[in-house]
Amino acid sequence: MPEVPAPALAPRIWQVGALCRAVADALDARFNPVAVRGEISNFSRAASGHCYFSLKDETGQIRCAMFRRAAGLLDFAPRDGELVELRGRLGVYEQRGDLQLIVESMSRAGQGALFEQFLKLKARLEQEGLFDAARKRELPAMPRGIGIVTSLGAAALHDVVTALRRRVPHIPVVLSPALVQGAGAPADLVRALSNLYQLTPARQGLTADLASRKGATQSPCIDVILLVRGGGSMEDLWAFNDEQLARTIVQSPVPLVSGVGHETDFTIADFCADLRAPTPTAAAELVAQPREVWLGALALAGERLHDALLRQVDSQSQRVDLAASRLGRPSALLARQQLRLGHQAQRLRYGALSNLQHKASLVQGLEANFPEKVRRAAAAAQERLARARLRLELLDPRLVLQRGYAWLADLEGSAITRASQTHIGQALRATLADGEVDLTVSPQRLI
């Protein structure tokens, strides 16, 4: 009979967690403890104190975790790009199935080449004053236009455009695309920024007249520029550590915001920019206050203005009412004045009559109480006055003239009492009892 082959043994079916633990056990038996040398990348420290990063070289990289107890023993602050030597144990992070190195100690092995270049350039540019806070400018509250420099295929572009459309859809956005990684990226970034600089207010003023003469449509005015890129390793972000790019950023006519990498990533561009944002999305939010905020502020200002106008109208209305109550109708005012005048006239008549009556009463009182001695003196005076009048009448020359005498005087009225006062032919006037007679002296005068 032919032999019947024995059935093959079925492979063991592992549970995922058991397989991870088996691999971890194999790694532990085969490699641990392990020492490795490489360059730090994407270093971060959690709120718990644990540190997470990657260790890499030219051929590969491995995830690393350093717990708080071991991190507390470090005598330096690890940074991206720094060359270090680690000691720890290889294991598997079962929740993700990732190979990781649990770091138990870390020491410097000399700075990595890229990080050393970064520090040298940073120190030189800082000494030249390119990072000075005094030259940093405030971002415009309401930009007329926003410029963006990034790669057309970058996720950062999608994030920034989405944030701007959501917050300020009314503000025009101008994209100047450029490479953000690779050998040609620095020069391309410089070119893209220079193109946007031509659309800033300072540069547009020089070209607006020429554009209008040619009939060309003028581009939106750019008041702020965003230089953005997503996260990556130090090599991925190396284009933003270029010296020429740094000097171009400093020459920006308008405020420039750098949003390169993640929150823990720092580049020379970040130090040169007017403001650094932790992410591209954050950069967009910094230059774009939501439209609802401005509309709300406008509505609030409108309400305050309306309330102020109402208060002013009420205040002026009260003043008008008060003035009207004081003035009233002209006819009513005239009637009140006429009534006052009648009262004053009545008071005047009453006062005059009262005064006369008072004076009359005084006179009657004086007559009634006039002393008898005074009355007798008055009668005696009247008698003396009568006698004096009689004597005066007896001395009147006209009484003598009635007895046949005449009053003789010259024409000037001088009395002639002697014949020696006359001369022949002199004109005289004789006054008789019943009239006057003109005379002339003749030669037959008495001697």
Secondary structure (DSSP) of 26-65: HHHHHT-SEEEEEEEEEEEE-TTS-EEEEEE-SS-EEEEE
pLDDT above 60: residue 215: no
Question: Which residue has better confidence, 127 or 320?
Answer: 127
Q: What would the 3-class secondary structure string for 375-396 be?
A: HHHHHHHHHHHHHHHHHHHHCC
Q: Cα(296)–Cα(433) distance, rounded to whole angstroms? A: 129
For the entire predicted model, the pTM comes to 0.48
Closest CA to 177 of 193, 159, 161: 193
Structure-derived torsion over alpha carbons of residues 152, 155, 270, 68, reported in degrees to the nearest 10: -160
Confidence of residue 244 (pLDDT cuts 50, 70, 90): very high
Average pLDDT over residues 186-199: 94
The residue ranking higher by pLDDT, 398 or 132, is 132
| 32-45 tens-digit pLDDT | 788 888 899 999 99
Angle formed by the axes of helices 243-250 and 185-197, to 10°? 10
Q: Which two tokens mark 323?
A: 């003035």
H/E segment holding residue 294? helix 291-327
Alpha-carbon gap, residue 28 to 17, rounded angstroms = 16
Query: Which of 19-33, 145-159, 198-212 has the lowest average pLDDT?
Result: 198-212
What order do you get walking across the sheet with 407-410 strand by strand?
407-410, 427-431, 436-440
Q: Is 108 helix (H, G, I), strand (E, B) or coil?
A: strand
Res. 147 pLDDT band, cuts 50 70 90: very high
Tally of CB atoms within 10 A around 264: 14
Q: Cα(318)–Cα(321) distance, rounded to whole angstroms?
A: 5
Q: Mean pLDDT across the stretch 95-111?
A: 81
Half-sphere exposure of 414 (CA within 13 A, CB side): 6
Q: Which residue is associated with the tokens 């309401």?
A: 142
Query: Residue 230's closest CA among 269, 194, 281?
Result: 281
Q: Is the pLDDT of residue 146 over 50?
A: yes
Which of 72-81, 372-381, 437-446 is the most confident on average? 72-81
**Can you give 148-189 as a three-state secondary structure string?**
EEECCCCHHHHHHHHHHHHHCCCCCEEEEECCCCCCCHHHHH
Residues pairing with 174 in the sheet: 147
Res. 257: pLDDT tops 70: yes
Average pLDDT over residues 327-350: 69
Distance, in Å, from the CA atom of 264 to the CA atom of 277, rounded to the nearest integer, reads 11
CATH 3.40.50.2300 domain span(s) along the chain: 132-209+218-293
Is the pLDDT score of 326 beyond 80? no
Please give the C-alpha separations between residue 405 and each of 392, 402, 408, 415, in angstroms, as whole numbers.
19, 7, 10, 14
Least Cα distance to 220 among 146, 152, 140, 157 occurs for: 146
Rounded to the nearest 10°, the torsion over CA 252, 256, 260, 265 is: 100
Is a pLDDT exceeding 60 seen at residue 263?
yes
Residue 210 pLDDT greater than 50, yes or no: no
Averaged over 7-24, what is the pLDDT? 72
- Per-residue pLDDT at 316 exceeds 90: no
Confidence of residue 185 (pLDDT cuts 50, 70, 90): very high
- Average pLDDT for 366-374: 62
| High-pLDDT (> 70) share of the chain, % | 82
pLDDT digits (tens, 9 = 90+) for 376-404: 777 787 888 878 777 776 666 666 677 77
Across 53-82, average pLDDT? 88
Question: For domain 132-209+218-293, is the CATH number 3.40.50.970?
Answer: no
More confident residue, 230 or 299: 230
Top mean pLDDT of 200-204, 353-357, 438-442 is at 438-442
DSSP state of 415: B
From-to residues of CATH 2.40.50.140 in the chain: 16-111
Position 373 scores a pLDDT of 64
As a whole number, mean pLDDT of residues 242-265 equals: 92
pLDDT for residue 447 is more than 80: no
Distances, alpha carbon 298 to alpha carbons 6, 7, 312, 360, 438, in Å: 87, 84, 21, 88, 125
CATH (residue range 16-111):
2.40.50.140
As a whole number, mean pLDDT of residues 55-81 equals 88
